[in-house]
Amino acid sequence: MAVQPRDVVEQYVKLVATGPTEEIVALYAADAVVEDPIGSERRHGHEKIRELYTALESLERSTELHAVKVNGKHAAVSFTLVTAFNGQRMTLSPIDVMEFDEDGKIVLMRAYWGPEDLKMEQI
């Protein structure tokens, strides 16, 4: 594998905080699938995946990486995303599970989180 999953995951968490969207999308294979959160409609391909991350562009945001577990071409990452917009702060703590192709591109990402992992507060 050209790129190690751990490196891609660390880059992913960093880019979720900083953008730009195109750099996040570039981590995915052209035919990748994203299910975020788990149980929601799956997004297929760069165009649909781009829609998900474009929503973050106008927000102040930061991330904190907690744990990365890698086994072969699979990885799980625990992190926290904090966003701020219009006097509201949102804190989300997902576990993203990813599968990679031979080139180190993400082919499948499933984000595990529910209402208890999402906190909203006035700032």
Q: Is 103 a catalytic residue?
A: no
Helix (H, G, I), strand (E, B) or coil at 2: coil
Percent of the chain residues topping a pLDDT of 70? 98
User: How far is residue 21's CA from residue 24's CA, in Å, rounded to a whole number?
Assistant: 5
E runs forming strands in the chain: 28-35, 43-44, 60-71, 74-85, 88-92, 95-100, 106-112, 118-122
- Catalytic residue check, 36: yes
The CATH number of 5-122 is which of 3.10.450.50, 3.90.226.10, 3.20.20.70, 3.40.190.170?
Answer: 3.10.450.50
Mean of the per-residue pLDDT values of the chain: 95
| Active-site option among 28, 36, 53, 96 | 36
pLDDT in tens, 77-102: 999 999 998 899 999 999 999 999 99
**pLDDT by residue (tens digit) across 59-74?**
999 999 999 999 999 9
- The residues spanned by each domain of the chain are 5-122
What are the tokens at 13? 């968490």
